[in-house]
Structure 1
Amino acid sequence: MRMALGLSYNGQAYSGWQSQPGGNTVQDHLEAALARFATQPVHTLCAGRTDAGVHGLMQVVHFDTLVEREPFSWVRGTNTFLPPGIAVQWAQAVPDSFHARASATGRRYAYVLLQSSVRPSVEAGRVGWVFRPLDGAAMQQAAQHLLGEHDFTSFRASSCQAHTPVKTLRRIDISRRGLDSDSAHELHGVVPCYWRFEFDGSAFLHHMIRNIMGCLVMVGQGLKPPEWMGEVLQARSRDAAAPTFSPDGLYFLGPQYDPAWGLPTRTAAYDWLP
């Protein structure tokens, strides 16, 4: 039978999703836990790989097994053998035609960014950081240049293995959350707040969002005008874009599937993210 799992993880302690010889990846830990619970080897396929330090709120995987257990037993049993920063949120039997990656119609990510003159503390590793104020309107204007189907070579890592750099970005939402002006403590001209950037697309290239974030931050800080984003896109050269931004605040919100599969669309982990 084929099973699908929804997985959340704090990526700080792991070397990304994909299995590596060192064994300290999310996939390595998940497959080891599944093998202990099922008492046989289990190989998983995921909806979208994540880099070292990147978090997952609902990674979806599938695997084939001869072991028959109730869905909730797969959740509780597997979690017994997982480290604290990784947890299976749900399990569901699916048809053999379901494929965690190929059946996805889209993917969503969020980037949470702390704007503050003081570096992160309790949220260290969970947010990106800028110590200069950002212009939200300028970033919104810059983001508009990226919507639609484009060749995103300028935002592609040299190690990217995607067959094509052409992807479709359907939505980029930018919002700010922070104290009101009366209670905010301004330090060195910066009012602390959190920015949330949400990306909805068909698929994403390796480092694509982190490279876009680097460019958005440059525009937000006034170092480049909003129309520069369009110039970077048209250049189709990684050298044209900003340096790759930190992985700390990047969250894989999960894949999107046709409702006919009947899979959950969110987990409890969504509700604490700023």
Structure 2
Amino acid sequence: MKRILLTVEYDGTAYAGWQRQINGLAVQQVLEEALSSACGHPVTVTGASRTDAGVHALDQKVHFDTGSTIPPDKYPFVLNTMLPPDIRVLEGREVPADFHARFLTAGKTYTYRIWNARHASALRRNTHWHVPVPLNEAPVRQALLTLTGKHDFAAFQAAGGTAKTTIRTLRSADLEVKGNEWILTVSGDAFLYNMVRIIAGTVVEIGLGKFGPDAFTKAFETLDRLALGMTAPAHGLELTQVRYPEKAFTDPSSVRWHEEETNGSTD
């Protein structure tokens, strides 16, 4: 048996999230069905991130075990003839038997996109949150400066999150404004349930003047979810990058396993 790591890109619009479930079609189910057919035996995959319904991914990582003779680098060519056009496998590689796509991550980057214009965009309706009222950029940039570093992000977790610890480290929180498009990019070691969407929702409410630029600082002090803004819609969110320490590909047993416990999604 070999353990294979795939890089998967998907448009989450038509799916009930990444994780298999009984009441909707999930990306995991579609990928597993294609892999089971290609490999000639039932295949179960493990993803690095359990994205919610409507969330997209540019760099989802998944691992699975197989006795198939398909060369690892040929999985994209085999699977992309079987998958729907909104799911694509970009890369395949063999990894050690004890590699784990979820528990060995060293960090992730998420991107949240906002379309700030009076009228919605037809072409961006599935990838951007439409905010029709003009946003003030200056207080948002001021607020983002307070977000990075190691903090207790308890206030940034949606109800139902079950993480063992709410201490997280954000490496960066950047905003790019290109005309009507606002692009928020957040990188960190790990994320809580709906954490990025809560950050994005608060960014918009700071831009609207409903919260001050000290909103994130107050949330760190009070640990109160009500100190922050709404949870932004799922469809504006993208899992942009999943990172692993280099040793994960050569000696996984030497890497500290990192478990983000949630009852659903880390997004």
Same fold (TM over 0.5): yes
Match in the other structure for 1:113: 114
Contact 2:176–2:184 (8 Å) recurs in 1: yes
- Equivalent AA in structure 2 for residue 138 of structure 1: P
Match in the other structure for 2:84: 83
TM superposition shift of 1:22:
3.2
Contact 1:33–1:79 (8 Å) recurs in 2: no
User: Would you say 1:231 and 2:232 are equivalent positions?
Assistant: no
**1:126-141 correspondence runs (5 A):** 126-141=127-142
TM superposition shift of 1:83:
1.6
User: Would you say 1:204 and 2:191 are equivalent positions?
Assistant: yes
Match in the other structure for 1:176: 177
TM superposition shift of 1:254:
2.1
Contact 2:151–2:167 (8 Å) recurs in 1: yes
TM superposition shift of 1:262:
6.6
Tell me the secondary structure at the aligned position of residue 43 of structure 1.
Answer: coil
Tell me the secondary structure at the aligned position of residue 248 of structure 1.
Answer: helix
Whole-Å separation in 1 of the counterparts to 2:148 and 2:175: 13
Alignment deviations for residues 185-214 of structure 1 (CA, whole Å, 9 cap, x no partner): xxxxxxxx1011100000111110111111
More off after superposition, 8-17 vs 162-171: 162-171
Match in the other structure for 2:262: none
* TM-score using structure 1 length: 0.86
Whole-Å separation in 2 of the counterparts to 1:253 and 1:51: 14
Whole-Å separation in 2 of the counterparts to 1:22 and 1:262: 36
Structure 1: where are the runs of 5+ without partners?
179-192, 264-274
Whole-Å separation in 2 of the counterparts to 1:248 and 1:140: 23
Match in the other structure for 1:215: 202
* TM-score using structure 2 length: 0.89
Tell me the secondary structure at the aligned position of residue 160 of structure 1.
Answer: coil
| Matched length | 249
Alignment deviations for residues 77-106 of structure 1 (CA, whole Å, 9 cap, x no partner): 222221221110110011123211122110
Alignment deviations for residues 152-173 of structure 1 (CA, whole Å, 9 cap, x no partner): 1111111223222111111001
- Equivalent AA in structure 1 for residue 70 of structure 2: R
Whole-Å separation in 1 of the counterparts to 2:156 and 2:59: 24
Contact 1:2–1:95 (8 Å) recurs in 2: yes
- Equivalent AA in structure 2 for residue 122 of structure 1: L
Tell me the secondary structure at the aligned position of residue 174 of structure 2.
Answer: strand
Alignment deviations for residues 22-64 of structure 1 (CA, whole Å, 9 cap, x no partner): 3501111111111111111111111111111100001001111
